[in-house]
Chains A and B, each alone.
Chain A
Amino acid sequence: MSTRVVKQFEDYWIWGILALGVVLGYHLLTLSLIRTNILSGISLFGLLLSLALFSVRKKVPFLPVGTAAGWLKFHIYCGLFSVVLFAVHIGVGLPNGYLDVSLAIVYLGVVSSGLVGLGLSIWIPKQLANCGEEVIFERIPILQRQLRKEAEGLVESTGNGEFGKFYISQVVPFFERTQYSHTHFFNNDRTRQELLNNLRAKHSFFGALERESAQHLEALIHTKYNLDRHATFQGFLKGWLFIHIPLTASLLLLSMTHGIIAYLYSPRFF
């Protein structure tokens, strides 16, 4: 294993060893009849709060409390570590109280969405890197409008011929709005290819100027396709947080309720 690879997984080792240590430690404490559920519950709630601080950190970027990348790294590792603590806390069996089941489901929702988000954050940038130009998400409608206008300019320049008819009948919807599609995840560009094939099939009916415009339109279709791809992927990159963050808020509330009830029915520590 090369030094680079070792370095890349260096943090994983540390966190893996830490997680293993926690599991072993809890196992030993459980053997010794110590109330591990209280200990793991407090630890888990503390960890969830620290994970939620990542969101606060984003709102106060001016504070000298480490880099965003560092926070993200901490957020990811702690999130994964919380899974270990959660497993330790609930034990082998599944919870069977209404509140506890709800709490577990919400927690699993948060973790799942987080893992999905993590996966998307790793995978999508690589996919977008193959889309040519980098695009700012908020500018996509502007760029889309710009492309549409450019295409409409081509039609205007060719007059009311076959090219214009073809554009109106088949190309307008493509440029009209963002073509969000799950097919982007599978690199499936059948829609674009069909459009291009139809355009190319019409070449024999086009005049010289129209053929030149058709070639230009092909380029615009490629660009629009990539723009749609950006819109879809970046939409997912931002969209998973619509699940992750609200569920986190709900999780914190339910955890607090659970903790208060556990506290009321357990001996007081202070």
Chain B
Amino acid sequence: MALQDHSFKHSKYERPNQDWICGWSKEGWSCKIGPRENGSCRAASECFPIKKGDRWFCTRQESDGGPCQEGPLPAGNCSIPIPPCQPILSLRKRRGRVSFWTIVLTLGILFLILPYPNGSVLVSPGDIHAVHGNFGEQCERCHLTSSEHVAVPVVDGLSKAESIGDSQLCLSCHQFGVNGMRVHNQSPKALDAVTGRLKSIQGVPSPPLSLRVLNWLPDGFHAPSQSTACGTCHQEHQGKSSNLQSMDDQSCQVCHTIQFSGFGDGHPELETYPYKRRTRVAFDHNSHIDKHFLKEDKNNDFGSCDSCHGLSSTNQTMFTKAFNTSCAKCHTQELKGIGNEASLVFFRLPEIDLFSLGEKRIGAWPEDLKGDLGLEQDLTPFMRLLLETKSSATVPLAQQQLSTLAGDFTLLQEHGHLYDLESAGPEVLEASERIIWAIKNLLFELSTQGQQAIITRLKGKKISSALGRTLGNKELSALAAQLPIGVLQTAQQAWFPRLEEEIRIRRKANQESGRAVSDLSLSPAIFAQEKSSFSYDPSVIGENEDGDFDLERMLEGAASKNTGIGGDDIFTDDSIGDDISSQSFSEEEGADEEVSGVVVNGQESEEEDVDPAEVQERDKKREGGVSTGGWYHSNSDFSIKFRRSGHEDRFSYAWLNLANDVSSTSMNPSGSQLLAHLANSFGSGSCLRCHSLDQQKDENDQMFRQTINWSSFRQIPHYQPSTHFSHGSHFSLVSKEKTCQTCHMRKESEEKDWTKIWFEQNTNPLKYSSNFKPIAKETCSTCHQKNSAGEQCLLCHNYHIGQSSVKLVNQ
């Protein structure tokens, strides 16, 4: 049956878009006119009659039944009034009201939450990782405030996962050095070098499709700039136990030169891995294994790799066991030294060509070292370093003297030796004289001050400026090596019995001439020039009528002037005076020993007839007296020696370090000379024979860093290499078939003198041919595949390379 008549005469026009509708509509009828806009009822009657002539007519519409039968009232009012209603909201309006109150509710909640002191808890995008839990809800610990943010262009903003400024806050705890914000924490130059090397690799596979598509994007979009924000990779607010280091393999490759699908599919060969550099300790595996370890000897317990290598506590690396475990069994004796190789000559009087030096005044000098015996005995590098580094702290005009002495050494080296001055010119002869007096002064200071003389010189400005630091007490103690003053005094008494008088006279002369009292090396030429400048008495400085040195005359002159030996009036340098006056020459062992052929300007000592063989025998006895290491003097070659104690000898260690530091930081020739001397001492027992010397160029290729590798490879604390490998995790794979050599396959040695070539004659640690073949990629990829042991980049590679440490913070 039809419910509705849709003709306009019978169908009302519905207006559901109006806010209010007639309240009667619920009852099934509603007035035609409807409520007002404000929701009040305005209906009064069913029509508004109109007057035509003198009559009123009903105007009710057809749709409402047409004109009524009753018709309007006489006054013109409708006769059918409509009872007033309570208009109701339309459906649309009610929906609008609900929306409005929802908005109010939402805003209300937000305005209640945001100003709340702990509002950050509610607006935080999620829990931070437990390791950052100490920060609590303090957003400012990781985020700069809005005003601190630096405006960045849109593209840059999109290409960086987080503000660089925020990352600076990360670096306040996570410290990665000066390149902390850079890619891989490497300098652009270092990255360029790696990129250049990778670009040179041939046969690179084509990248996977996704990376090829990304390569079409402009560089700025997918390749990080020089500074990379931490949040690029580490996504925080992912929950307390989220993986902050999660990284897609392809993301790693976006910036990389070589792009591939997987480790087994396109990853470059491992090249020289893991033998990228030579070992710190020079060790020829081939010669040791073939010649010694494989011998069928019941005492040979070097049957396997773990005889010398052990797993580090981190389970990662295999370290080389200590000397006592690995090497001592065979190498102890040679490190103690045999014969002449057992000791280091610390101080030695050089042989002097007195015939060529002629009239020059050098004072007393042992007859056996006058240069006519062809000994070619020169001063030691230790002496040269100490002479050149005479302390300026207590000596006026020392810098002038230092520069003079350094120049003198250079001049002498260019034109001859102290033992051969035949062809030397006047300048060289003057330089030689100054050097000789400096040697005598050094011996004088050593014999009067002992270890302090060494320490004072090493603490001087020259060493400090060469090293860029001052030597510490521990280092100085090791360098002095408990040098007993008695040994020095005995030696001085034996070689220069009247050294003290000589020194005092020279200083007196200098004092009167207004020069530094310690400047003992004034040549006659200088004296001649300056004679008029001070009250010069030739007898005081031991000058005879011919202008030659005459000790007797000097002593007599001193006595006549009432400037007796030890007299206070001649000491202007209090420290030196105290040293001398407070220390008497002790009568220790050997102090009154006979010295063979000691002649002081032609006057032989009382023991001149002692047999040289006996002297040597006594020297040997003295050496034997310090069989576990120590100092002694040798009269046969006028030297003071140190006998090494064996492995880990403190003296050798300290002086090698000093020589290395001086020569590497300032290119100091005396440091280099000493280093070379120490390297060649002790023959096969030389420290540097095993402990390699690395020279490394810095980033600017300007300076080089020279390091003595005192220990084998050790994991540097807080240092991450570019790759890591867990030996411990792979030990379960070791079996009869699979041994260490499955991965570390020995290579037949191509060089006969392998150690000599790669260690003794080479200081570049990266220039190297290992005893082992590089590990083939297939060795790893057999197991490391996508669906077995895994082939993620981060399984072997570290992103952060170099120093890294975390500074813990309080809550």
Contact partners of B161 in chain A: CB under 8 A: 33, 35
- A97 touching B125 by the CB < 8 A rule? yes
Residue B649, interface by CB 8 Å: no
Contact A28 B121 (CB under 8 A): no
**Which residues of A have CB within 8 Å of B152?**
267-269
Q: Once bound together, how far apart are the Cα atoms of A144 and B238, in whole Å? A: 58
Distance in angstroms between the alpha carbons of A270 and B146 in the assembled complex:
13
- Pick the contact of B28: A28, A133, A146, A270 (CB < 8 A): A146
A31 in contact with B3 given A253-B110, A267-B163, A269-B152 (CB within 8 Å): no
Binary interface encoding of chain A residues 205-216 relative to chain B, with 1 for a CB under 8 A from any of its CBs, else 0: 000000000000
Could you list 19 examples of A-B contacts with CB < 8 Å? A28-B213, A33-B159, A33-B161, A33-B232, A38-B158, A96-B238, A96-B239, A97-B123, A138-B16, A138-B21, A141-B27, A143-B4, A223-B1, A245-B98, A246-B95, A246-B101, A257-B114, A267-B149, A268-B149
Across chains A and B, the number of contacting residue pairs, with CB separation under 8 Å, is 170
B149 touches A33 (CB 8 A): no
Contacts of B157 in A (CB 8 A): 35, 38, 266-269
Asked if A70 CB lies within 8 Å of chain B CBs, one says: no
Residues of A within 8 A of B319 (CB): none
Q: Which residues of B contact A148 (CB under 8 A)?
A: 28
Beyond the given A99-B125, A141-B28, A266-B157, please list 17 additional residue pairs across the A-B interface where CB-CB is below 8 A.
A28-B213, A30-B251, A32-B222, A33-B222, A97-B123, A99-B124, A135-B4, A136-B4, A136-B14, A144-B28, A145-B28, A242-B98, A257-B114, A266-B163, A267-B165, A268-B157, A269-B151
Give chain A residues whose Cβ lies under 8 Å from the Cβ of B221. 32, 34
Binding site for B on A (CB under 8 A): 27-28, 30-35, 38-39, 93, 95-100, 133, 135-139, 141-148, 219-220, 223, 227, 238, 241-242, 245-247, 249-250, 253-254, 257, 261-262, 264-270
Q: Indicate if the CB atoms of B214 and A28 lie closer than 8 Å.
A: yes
9 closest A-B pairs by beta carbon, nearest first, are A145-B28, A32-B222, A246-B102, A96-B126, A267-B163, A97-B125, A246-B99, A97-B126, A98-B122
| Complex Cα gap A95–B224 (Å) | 27
B163 adjacent to A97 (CB under 8 Å): no
Residue of A nearest to B14 (CB): A138
Q: Are B103 and A249 in contact (CB under 8 A)?
A: yes
- Give chain B nearest CB distance to A179 CB in angstroms: 15
Is B29 at the interface (CB under 8 A from chain A)?
yes
Please tell me which one of the listed residues A98, A227, A245 contacts residue B121 in the complex, with CB atoms under 8 A apart.
A98
Q: Using Cβ atoms and an 8 Å threshold, which residues of chain B touch A35?
A: 157-161
Residue contact B217 to A32, C-beta cutoff 8 Å: yes
Is the C-beta of B602 less than 8 angstroms from some C-beta in chain A?
A: no
Q: Which of B145-189 contact A (CB under 8 A)?
A: 146, 149-154, 156-166
Residues in A with CB closer than 8 Å to B163 are 266-267
* Assembly CA distance A238 to B96 (angstroms): 13
| Other-chain residue from B21, B28, B158 in contact with A39 (beta carbon distance below 8 A) | B158
Please tell me if the beta carbons of A133 and B4 are within 8 angstroms of each other in the complex: yes
Residues of chain B with a CB closer than 8 A to A135's CB: 3-4
Contacts of B377 in A (CB 8 A): none
Picked from A28, A33, A220, the residue with its CB within 8 Å of the CB of B233 is: A33
Instruction: Tell me the bound Cα distance from A254 to B254 in angstroms.
Output: 35
Residue of B nearest to A262 (CB): B125
Contact code string B1-18 (vs A, CB < 8 Å = 1, else 0): 111100000001010100
Our pick among B29, B103, B114, B251 for the contact of A142 (Cβ within 8 Å) is B29
Q: Nearest chain-A residue to B247 (Cβ)?
A: A33
Neighbouring B residues of A99 by C-beta, 8 Å: 122-125
Report which residue of B4, B221, B250 has the largest number of chain A beta carbons within 10 angstroms of its beta carbon: B4
CB pair B28 A34 closer than 8 Å: no
Q: Tell me whether B248 is interfacial, beta carbon within 8 Å.
A: yes
In the assembled complex, B210 has its CB within 8 A of some CB on chain A: yes
Q: In the complex, how many angstroms separate the beta carbon of B584 from the nearest chain A beta carbon?
A: 79
Is B107 positioned at the interface, with any CB of A under 8 Å from its CB? Answer: yes
Residues in B whose Cβ lies below 8 Å from that of A268: 149-152, 157
Task: Give the chain A neighbours of B469 by CB distance below 8 A.
Answer: none
